[in-house]
Structures are given as structure tokens and as C-alpha cells.
Structure 1
């Protein structure tokens, strides 16, 4: 076995000896030194496969079978119609990730208590034998509801481990599925109650036709939210659009692109939107003709039959619904922190400037009643008549209506039970019989609690899930979850709670296909740049070995190699995209772009011909009042029209007297969720720190750079502070994604915001309420 690359990677002698012996014992070698002496530079086109808001062209420059630098797309003309897909600093720093000395190198088995982080190296053969034995035992004893593939976005490629595991477990009897996601659970659930779909966005190229763009918690400068999203906003501004940013933070998007910043208290966006609606109604600024023709439930004259009077949206806004509370700007000022004059001006501007786009980010709907935020924006879009027109925006989820079909690995799950991706702790603690509420779909109740978890490229076990300390306590109890397998590239906070850890290859050590968040424009092929190192293995490889132990290898593989599965996906994709390139051409170019003669407009057909192209709702119209939500008979938490509901641990919660600061977790430009947190280069870009308003710091005698204690009843984070005027008073923000690192006293020393967040799913989507936390901050 040649070890040129091992020397380059600087591993110790004992590790080298273990790897060599275990490779020989398992019958395979992980290192290929065929190109180790090739000094010619190869340029390999690839992309990123983690859950980044951008999907960019990455070019790996390879010498001696090692990536020596990374560049990006620069070989096509950069035009307004076809802008280059240029990588941000995350992927440009990727060498620091692939060659990080902390990469997992071999399979490991837990030897201490779960969560202690004590493991010993074992062979792949032993690791897969242990995994297969536990899978067989647990499936036989508890059934498919006990087997769970954890939500994970560390690898979003079409050939990811979770795709292969779904295929295998489906053949083995099934598994417990999940619905929704941590990012958009509330808006994906709520938006269809208004429009019947989540595809409510115009093409981004259409923003140049807007005269006014309101960004509600939308920060694509850092989150990216689709490669070149900030570029399209810049084009709109250059074309004359006014841009307003509504956000607790004066974000980089607001700094670079906005004409005005309106800070708003977290969880109170609906109060702002209610007051805007009040101004429009009182001043008769709403597009009544649009509301009369296309909408259900705005006023008493357009309500579904059989609904008692006083339940329209207009009744609610004017306080004629029994509450006797008019949603005036003065009412909203005390809740949101926005001056009433600003609210009036904003309402008039949105109502009188046409076309206009109210674009909702995903941050505002990640709170206690986030379903209301999503639907609230759709009502304002309807009231202003900005739906189905160029330059407008229907609001809600905002996914583009034009999409490229991209084939996936075929699988079938015979087990129909589904839980919300956020409710898995409940499915561990009280899973058997769970289903009396809306958290279980496909079955009346679960037949078992979760007993086995496959955590494949994810950090949601403790890091990205709320209440890290409480969740860790659940996972430590080996009487609850019997067996946990993690497959990853690093020893993450979640990996520490595994029984078996399996080292994964890197995105530049494999072939794959990835789609952007905006899947209407292009697909990317990820060419393999370098060979896999150490004992890291591709998912198809080791899951295929697991299939052998279950007697399913031939059925699982269908006789195909991994490369043949790549060809299969390309061929299936080409069947529904007539101009799709051949497999060899797609690999060579690394990208398939679809060109459009003109931007796509959501609901254009419905607005032009509502009789023949109705909205995909039960009524065929925009449902401001939802009969389906009315039928749930839970008006305090799931109202039939969107309403402001005062959040637990919001600014009006009495507990704010003890914990007076609202703490949120913004996305950092240095990470993709928790991916890249352990990269030294990214630490140089932006340190992990809590952002705090100058006045809040002054009264606490805190100075910029001090170490502070951020705490509530759930835990404590000790972290440096950034004192700044770029966050509104009464609000603090810790960039989400830092790896949970408790000290001996249980205080987190890295800045994991989920030490402070609460596990309490939202009422309809059972989604993630992570921006609903009250804390206090003190100088250490």
C-alpha cells in the first residue's frame, strides 16, 4: 500500500498502522496514489452539496492528487440574463475543510456512557456487523415505527447517504418518516391554506419590474438564499425600485441595498401587518375589485356559507370580531416597537406603489406562531392586488413556479407513519400511541417509540435542535433510544451521542448531482476531484454492505455500480428535459442551464382566467378565510384568518421581567448552519459573538469585546459580546450553528444558541420556534 497521500496529510504512525491493518482485514484499500506524482494541474468542476443557500460552480485545482486551490466560474460572459455562479467565501475556503486534521478517519465504537465522547477505533466489518445486528433486533421487536432516519442537510446531493438508506430501509420493512423541515416548516404548512401551493414566487429576474420591494426578515447577503439573489435585488434597485428592510438587525442586505431599515421586535411581525391592513381599510386603499373577484373571507360579503357573522378578516382588523380591539398603528406600536407614523407611511406606500413585492424571509416564521406570519403576508399581497402580475409577489413561501425536473434515487416506504421533523424527541419519549394531535400523519397513532436512529450527515441531534441540554438528556438515556449510528466527516456535537460512528467521504471525493434552492434555473454536476482518504467510504459502498447483511444486496443495487446510478439519474432527468445534455457532456460542463424567454409569474393564469384556471384551493380562490382551519376548532392558536397571537417568551410574556432580552439566531456568512464551524479560516472571517444593542449594554456596564453570560432557565452560554447599534434595543442575536460545547458546569463555551431555545413545536406545522427565546445577559 503506497502512502504518499498519508504523508501529505500528516497523520501519526499508530493511526497509519491501524488503517493499514484494518484495510487489509476488510479486504479493500482506501488510498489510490495513481496521481500522487502528477505535477500537472487539473481543474475539476464541482459544487457544494451541503444545505447552503447558494449552489455555485466550484473549480478544484488539483496537483499530486491534492486540491491546491479553489476558484469559481469565470469562463462565461457575466451578463444580466446569465450571471456567473460565483462561489462565496464558504466554498472558497473548502481546502481548509477537506484537509482538516480533525476529519474522521476510521469507524469508531462507543466505550463510555452515551454523550461522554469516548470511542475506540474498529474495523468497517465490525461496525457494519454491529449495525446490522441492532437493526434486525429492533425491527423484529418494535417494528418500522421504531426506525428513524434523522433530519439532516449536511449532504443534499441526489446520491446522499440518506437517499440510499431510505431505499434500503424501505426494502427491509419500512421506517418512520418525517415531514417538513427546520427552515420553512411553518410557511410550507400555512401558505397552501391561502393559495393551495408553496410555489408562490415570481422569477427573481422579475424584481427589476418592481417599484417597491419590502424585505420582511430577508437577508440574502449572508444567507445567500439562491446564488445571485442579492445581485437581482441590486438590479432592481438600479432600475429604480425602492427597497425597505424590516428586521430586528440592520443586516448586511439592509446596509448594502436598502433605502430604509425598520427594526421590529421578534415574533411581532403579524401585529405590524395587521396595522398596515387597518390603515388600508380605514383609508380605503385596498384593491377591493381584486379582493371581490379572487378572494374568500376578506369581508362579510365574501365568506363561505355556514360561517357565523363576525369572522371575516376585516372584522378581525376592525375589532368587530368580539375582541373589540382595533388593530390600529397605535396598538401595533406598543407591541412591535415601530412608531405608529412609520406604520402608516409603510402601509400607504405599499398600497399606492404598484407593482410592489413583499418578500418574506424564513426567519420570521420560525417563532411560536410562525404559521400566522406566512399567511399574514399573503393577505397584504391580495389587498394591494400584487398577485399574478409582473413586479408583484404573492408572499408566503415564495418558491419559484418554474422548476427543472431532477430525478432521485427510487425508493418506497411501506410504512406510512410520519412525524414532524421537529417532533422526534416526543417520538422518543412518548412515541408509542402518539397521534392524538396533528403531529402524526399517515396513521392514527405510532406503534412504537423511536428506538434506532440513523444520523447521516446531520447535526440536529443536539446542535441544531432546540433545548440542547434537554435533548442531550433524552439521548443519554439508553433505555429510550437503543442504538444510534452517525455517518459524518467530523466528530460533531451530535456524533458524540452515537453508538457507532462511520467516516464519510467528502463532496470533492465523490460524484453527485445537486439542485439549487431555486431549482428553476440550473442543475450542477459534482465531479470527483481527488481520491477518498483514510477509511472514509461513500454511502453507496457501506450501505450496500449493510444490504448484504440483510439479504437485500441484489435488490438494493439492481446490479448497478455507483457510476451506473449516476448515469441512471442523468438519463431519467433528460427524459423530462428535452434539451438536457448527454451524461458525458453534463459531466464535462458541470452545469445544465435552462433559459427562459421571460420571467415566470406566479398565478398569472389564475388572475387572467380564474374560471378556467382556478387557484388550487378547495374554493378555487385565494382563501383569506380557510374553512379547513376553521374546522380544526382551535381559534386561539390556529385561527381561520391570519392573526397576531402574542408569543410565549415574546415581548409581552410576563417572564420578560426576569429575562428581558429577546434572543434570536441569525445566519452567519461564515457557516452553512453548523457546517464550517470547526474551520480555522472561517473563524478569521467572523468570530462567534453575541450581538447586543449599545443601550442594553450600557445599563449592564458591558463593553464591546467583554465576555458575557447569556442565560435563561434552560441553560447558559458564555461568549464574547459585540456591542452595536445594528441591532434594536431589547434584542440580542447569537449566530446559529456553533457546536455545542459544554464545560464541566454545563455552560456552553462556543456559542450554541440552542442551549437557550425552547422545545415547544408550533401548533399547526409542529415546526421550529427557535426565534422565541427570552434571556438575560451579564458580564462575566
Structure 2
């Protein structure tokens, strides 16, 4: 173990860890530096503590560095990477507020310490302690029983984001050695944009430019992104965004239903828009550009397919199916997409749409970027596609200062992963539809549910291994429906859960195993943003109680199932990590040796700005895209043919169409600004929160005090309902009821309520007939109906009503 000795005074601690006075003030004095990060002056007095490097492993691209100060085998406080560690001031992968509170999580009273089995109903949270032998024997025996009875297609590993590292998926490897499991595709975060981007750009050059490339732009458009909230930390997109705003002279517009924290300090950059209407805004801009001859026809005719009749595929010419025809009202819905039309939908004045369109048409370079909020909707595939089409219209792709309308690129020190081997089961489902696969799996087909690798499922999910995930309930849509499905033990017969604390999803597991954090074991991770970095960590303390690593657990199950030798190949987890790293060094010899990486803890690589599609722009023939045409496909024949014959629901497509649109059109949401009702007159949208990454840290009391769970509501809507700042309110719709605090603010557009996602679900699922969630989890209110193309998570597509809770 690499250790260093430091004599750290309390004064220097407070100085090096940042603006803690501001933190305490933000909390109303409730959360001090001592409470958040730890202090223990007695431990520092003799200067004998040791330090080890570790890393955050939650689903944030920051995965920041953590330095653990240890005394008597206990962590006394946590700090992070600073300029003196690297020898330069500008590139510092420092941990955010959440990462620096890991001590609170590490030693939390609710930390899981022993294997347990369920003794109550699923969801009640009643468990008793058992031995490791009983836990592993039960989990392995039930797995064998399910495989023997139903086949390996009945086994599933749900989507989970609580652990990221080079060896963080050992259960997948173990399952492949006993016949495999039902795969999933997509993610809860990016299903819609990940699905549609290859249709337009292919896969080879589909990523966006780095934010550093925007330093050369004159105009920057950001759709639905807030790096300072979603990607905090010292060397991830938060850093890149702050640096960009300091360096650029460009005009910036952030198009969002909220004045998010990335806008703060520059409120003139906020362009308020009704949720789910970004594609309508783009259509209104496109109409103005076309009508005023501001489109770049040379670019569109050289690099694109489907803009106008001249660039349509031969089979579809003369049918008014081009993008031009859609915008000008000559095809599809026969509605002209004027700025006035767009204004009525978006809430943005027509004059403002025209003004921004003029700026887009006359200002170069133009950098267009989108976050993942706009695409996480019922119409998200077409929203993402429309935003990508915007820079194409004016030829602002592949040049300095431009991007292609997707999210910014992340540049990483790439590391390999522990091989999972080949999965003998070839079928896969969208990850968002796992509850459907439990409830009525054999009814799911390629045409109605996006099943891949076969025409349909033969059996429902009967066995799950839920490792480091809270998507069984808390992060899954319609928690009440998820509860009803999971509580029925005749459907999914066994659930194995592995985690560090008892989150809501773990209450539905039959056996629970206590996990170690990645910083309590040897671990390595690589990530980055504009620049890349790698963290090589050693155990901060010895394992406490009966906690084990996931690799140890999977090895024990493999031994029970007779495949341990194949699983481990005679290697410890540390030996696997080192072998994976040495393979990476063969491809990148500039990386430090293993011994140097351990000693350094943190390794940073400076990288040049990356310009998306630069090679394609320079030579579209030699560097053709891997789309069917080799060009940018604004019209996708491939999508039209792939989705032919799909079973669609009302609202999945444009009125009058029986197929999914092969263009970046605006489709009204099922539950949106154009489909509110008298019963549910408000739009409900979600957002990411500083105090959590998804539901991780959602139970840490100090962070909850600093970041209370609130519903943002505009003063106009609050006044109509007699609601004042700080009132407890009920937000309800056809799926459920939540209670939380009211944040009355003009930072959210009228008619919209915004609730941060990830709050821990707190409802009595058996005694309360209304199942009121007093934790304020937005997923109590979100629909489990998937978006039509990707079958993805439409978490931000909701309508609701709000009322004050009587005292």
C-alpha cells in the first residue's frame, strides 16, 4: 500500500478543501465542515495518519479522486487532488461536495455489514442475518433451479449504475460460464439519443466536439444541459463549462424549462422553453432560415441526405417526404412550421425565435450542444434528432468552433475491462422494460417491445442479480406498478441484491450481500472530459465486519456452480486489474508503470480540443460515415424500413401516420404541454440535483439538509393554489402521489413543475391505501410506457396537479 505521512493542521485543512464557510451558510448553518467531511483534531495532533488514493465509482463521468486519511484503521477525513499533487494548477480532478462526504456513507449506521435473508413481504424491508455459506448456497441453488426449469433466458442482470471500475461486473462473467442470461440494451439516461444518432450520423464519427472546441465559437446554443449540476468535480464537464465561460467571447443561449445553475450569473443567456418542445423550436428556426435563404445548400447537397427533393433517396422522390417539405407544410401533417406556429407550442415569442434564427444564420462558428434531458421524453428520439439537424442547416459541422448537435465529447485515458466472456443467450430487451419481462415476458416481441436476437421472449424473468442498483423501484418509472410486479413472488421467483446500504430496491431482494466500496479494495478507473485522467486506488482500511468484494462473491457462487477455475483463471482481483492495465499500456506506452500508477494515485493527460466530424467535413468520400448512404441522413430510409409493421400506440407518431417518422419532426408528448387536462393541468419535468447522482447519496442526512427535496413551481401557479415558499405540497397524477417542499421561483416556466430525480422513495406500500411517497421521488409519478423507437425511459414526460398540504 502506498502511504504518505502528513502533519495537517485544522487551519490548513479548511484552507485546502475550499469554500466551506459558503457551504455552511448555504445550509443555514446546519451543516458545518466538521459534520460534512470529518475533523478529529486529536487524530491529527501526532501527525501519524496514513493516506491512500481511491476514486468515486458512481455513474458520473467525473469519477473523481479521493484521498483518505486513516488513523487506527478508520477514515478520519477525506480530501482530494490539488495542484501541488500534479505540479500544475489548471487540471485538477478534485472531488465535488458529494465525494468529499464519503466518510458519512462509509461509516453510516445503515451500512450493510452481514448477509441477510428476507423474512417479510417484498418491499417491507424485513430481514434477518444469515451466514455467508447459507447466503451463497441459497443464491446458487435458486439460480440452478431456475436455469433447469426455465432456461437461461429467465435470468437477468438489471441496469445499474452504482459502481464503475475496471472489474465492476463480475456477475456477468460468472453467469456466462453457466449458460448466460437475458441481455439488455440502452440505458435509463441516454436511450433515445443513443438510438437515433446512428441513423443520422452512423457510429464512427457520431460524438460531439469537446467544450474546449467551443472556445473558437461566436455563438453557442446549449439545449437542456447543466454541467454544474449533473457533472460536478474538478476535471469533468463542470470544469470545462466554467473554463469556457471565462475564456469565450461568444454569445451563449441555454434553452431549458429551468434557469438551471449553469445559467446563474449570466441570466441573459437563459431562453425559457416549455418542456418537450425543443423540436418545435428548431422547426420554427428552420422555417425562418429557409424562407430567408440562410441555409447552407452547398453543405446540405454535398454532405446530407433528405433535406430537399434533390437529396432524397430515389425510392422516395416525388412524395413530399423531405425535411424541407415537412418544415414548409408540403408533406406529412401539412402544417407550415412558422415561428408563430412554434411560439404557440414552445412559449417562446415568435419575434425571439426569428431573432435567434437570424443569429444562427449569420454567426459563425456556431457550436450546438444538447444534454440528455431533452431526449429523455416520449418524443425524445425526434427531439435529439432535430437539435442535431440545426447545425447541418447552416453547415456548421466539422469546422473549428463547431459541433454536431450531440453532447460534448469525453476524452479519457481508456482502460480495459474484466472480460465477461461470450453470452450464450443472444436475446436482449430494452433495459427499461424489465418489469414487463417479469410480468408478461412471453407477450413481448420484436414488433411491440423491441426484443432483439429473436422474434419474441419465450419466458419471463424469474431470477435477477441486482448489483449496485436502485432501478428495481426508486429509479424505475411508476414505482407503484413496479412494486405490484416485484411483490408477486410467482413472477420473479428470486432476487439477489448486493449493495452498501438498504436502498428501496434492496427491500425487494430475497438475499442481500454486503458490498465493499471500490476504495476499500484495489481498484482502478479512467475517465475524463476535455482531458483524460486515471486513478489507481488501494484499500483505505481493512474490510470491516463481513463485507466482501463483488469479485469474491461471484467467485463463491462460481465455486458452488462448479466453474470457479474458469471464472478466476487462478487470479485474484488485483492480478486481474494489473493484467488489464498492462494490456492498456501496450496500446498507450506513455502511461506510467503499474508501480508508478499506484504510487502516483492520480495520473492526468493533457489533450487537445476535439472537433467532431472534422475528417468527414474535409473529405466526405474518403471518410464516409457508416450510414447506408455514407452521408448525414436527415431522412432515414433505414429507420422507415426497420420499424415497418411495428405495433404503435396513440401518440407515438404524427397524426395520420401509421409509421414512425423518418425525419427530425416535432411529435406532441402523450403527457405534455399540448395534452394537459382539467384534472392534471400542469406539466411535470425532472432534473438532476447537486445533492445526489441519481439516488446515490440520497440518504446522507447532511447532504439532504443542504439540498432539500423541493418542487419548483412558478409564482403564478403557486399563487393560484395558495402555495408559499417552504410549504409542504402534494404533487399527484394518475400514477401516484408525492409530498415535498415547495420552491416558489420564477426560475421555472409557468405551467411547469420541476422535481429533481433520485430522492429516496418513502411510502408504506402495504398499509397506506394511497401509497403517499413522502420522500418525494419523481418516479412515483412517471409513466412506465416507453418511448416508441428506442423503448427508452421517458422520465420527463408527465402531467400533474399540485395542492398545499393542510397543517
Shorter-chain TM band:
over 0.9
Confirm or deny that 1:167 pairs with 2:173. Answer: yes
What does 1:523-538 correspond to in 2, within 5 Å? 523-538=534-549
Counterparts of 2:214 and 2:84, CA distance in 1: 24
Partner of residue 25, structure 1: none
Residue by residue over 1:87-144, the C-alpha shift from the partner in whole angstroms, topping out at 9 and shown as x without a partner, is: 1101011111101111011111111122221111101110001001100000111111
Cα contact 1:186–1:370 (8 A) shared by 2: yes
Structure 1 SS opposite 2:263: helix
Partner of residue 216, structure 1: 223
Residue by residue over 1:298-344, the C-alpha shift from the partner in whole angstroms, topping out at 9 and shown as x without a partner, is: 00111111114200000000000053210011111111111111111
Structure 1 residue 76 displacement after superposition: 4.1
Counterparts of 1:388 and 1:683, CA distance in 2: 44
Counterpart pick for 1:643 among 634, 649, 665:
665
Partner of residue 264, structure 2: 255
Partner of residue 31, structure 2: none
Confirm or deny that 1:546 pairs with 2:546. Answer: no
What does 1:582-597 correspond to in 2, within 5 Å? 582-596=593-607
Residue by residue over 1:624-664, the C-alpha shift from the partner in whole angstroms, topping out at 9 and shown as x without a partner, is: 011111212376462111100011011111x4221011111
Moved more, 677-686 or 296-305: 677-686
Structure 1 residue 520 displacement after superposition: 6.3
Counterparts of 2:716 and 2:59, CA distance in 1: 36
Counterparts of 1:543 and 1:243, CA distance in 2: 49
Confirm or deny that 1:483 pairs with 2:494. Answer: yes
Counterparts of 1:146 and 1:517, CA distance in 2: 37
Confirm or deny that 1:97 pairs with 2:105. Answer: yes
How many positions carry a matched residue from both structures? 741
Counterparts of 2:686 and 2:270, CA distance in 1: 19
Confirm or deny that 1:335 pairs with 2:335. Answer: no
Structure 2 SS opposite 1:441: coil
What does 1:196-207 correspond to in 2, within 5 Å? 196-197=202-203, 199-207=206-214
Cα contact 2:414–2:527 (8 A) shared by 1: no
When residues 776 and 540 of structure 1 are mapped into structure 2, their CA distance, relative to the original with a 3 A threshold, is same
What does 1:107-506 correspond to in 2, within 5 Å? 107-160=115-168, 163-197=169-203, 199-224=206-231, 227-237=235-245, 238-257=247-266, 259-308=268-317, 309-400=319-410, 404-411=413-420, 412-437=422-447, 439-506=450-517
Partner of residue 731, structure 1: 752
Counterparts of 2:127 and 2:174, CA distance in 1: 27
Partner of residue 59, structure 1: 67
Partner of residue 769, structure 1: 794
Cα contact 2:530–2:609 (8 A) shared by 1: no
Counterparts of 1:478 and 1:150, CA distance in 2: 17
Counterparts of 2:272 and 2:721, CA distance in 1: 22
When residues 239 and 114 of structure 1 are mapped into structure 2, their CA distance, relative to the original with a 3 A threshold, is closer
Structure 1 residue 414 displacement after superposition: 1.2
Partner of residue 68, structure 1: 76
Cα RMSD (Å): 2.0
Structure 2 SS opposite 1:306: helix
Structure 1 residue 236 displacement after superposition: 3.0
Residue by residue over 1:475-530, the C-alpha shift from the partner in whole angstroms, topping out at 9 and shown as x without a partner, is: 00111000001100111100111111111112321121223364962222232211
Counterparts of 2:209 and 2:87, CA distance in 1: 20
Structure 1 residue 593 displacement after superposition: 2.9
Residue by residue over 1:46-65, the C-alpha shift from the partner in whole angstroms, topping out at 9 and shown as x without a partner, is: 21001124222221111221
Structure 1 residue 82 displacement after superposition: 4.9
Residue by residue over 1:410-429, the C-alpha shift from the partner in whole angstroms, topping out at 9 and shown as x without a partner, is: 12211111111101111111
Structure 2 SS opposite 1:574: helix
Structure 1 residue 39 displacement after superposition: 6.8
Instruction: Tell me the TM-score normalised to structure 2 length.
Output: 0.89
Partner of residue 39, structure 2: none
Structure 2 SS opposite 1:255: coil
Counterparts of 1:59 and 1:225, CA distance in 2: 17
Confirm or deny that 1:674 pairs with 2:704. Answer: no
Counterparts of 1:693 and 1:730, CA distance in 2: 7
Partner of residue 18, structure 2: none
Counterparts of 1:230 and 1:519, CA distance in 2: 11
Cα contact 2:237–2:530 (8 A) shared by 1: no
Instruction: Tell me the TM-score normalised to structure 1 length.
Output: 0.92
Cα contact 1:39–1:64 (8 A) shared by 2: no
Cα contact 1:387–1:394 (8 A) shared by 2: yes
Partner of residue 508, structure 1: 519
Structure 2 SS opposite 1:610: coil
When residues 146 and 572 of structure 1 are mapped into structure 2, their CA distance, relative to the original with a 3 A threshold, is same
Counterparts of 2:584 and 2:626, CA distance in 1: 26
Cα contact 2:478–2:782 (8 A) shared by 1: yes
Counterparts of 2:732 and 2:517, CA distance in 1: 37
Counterparts of 1:489 and 1:403, CA distance in 2: 28
Partner of residue 50, structure 1: 58
Cα contact 1:244–1:258 (8 A) shared by 2: no
Structure 2 SS opposite 1:243: strand
Structure 1 residue 722 displacement after superposition: 0.9
Counterpart pick for 2:714 among 686, 693, 702:
693
Counterparts of 1:404 and 1:352, CA distance in 2: 38
Counterparts of 2:407 and 2:212, CA distance in 1: 18
Structure 1 residue 397 displacement after superposition: 4.5
Counterparts of 1:359 and 1:76, CA distance in 2: 34
Counterpart pick for 2:582 among 563, 571, 575:
571
Cα contact 1:242–1:258 (8 A) shared by 2: no
Cα contact 1:215–1:358 (8 A) shared by 2: yes
Runs of at least 5 residues in structure 1 that lack an aligned partner in the other structure = 1-34
Counterpart pick for 1:521 among 510, 518, 532:
532
Residue by residue over 1:684-710, the C-alpha shift from the partner in whole angstroms, topping out at 9 and shown as x without a partner, is: 221111111111000001111111111
Residue by residue over 1:584-622, the C-alpha shift from the partner in whole angstroms, topping out at 9 and shown as x without a partner, is: 1111112333333x3221111111111211112110100
Cα contact 1:53–1:223 (8 A) shared by 2: no
When residues 547 and 475 of structure 1 are mapped into structure 2, their CA distance, relative to the original with a 3 A threshold, is same
Counterparts of 1:748 and 1:650, CA distance in 2: 23
Structure 2 SS opposite 1:481: coil
Counterparts of 1:734 and 1:215, CA distance in 2: 21
Structure 1 SS opposite 2:369: strand
Structure 1 residue 38 displacement after superposition: 10
Counterparts of 2:725 and 2:559, CA distance in 1: 58
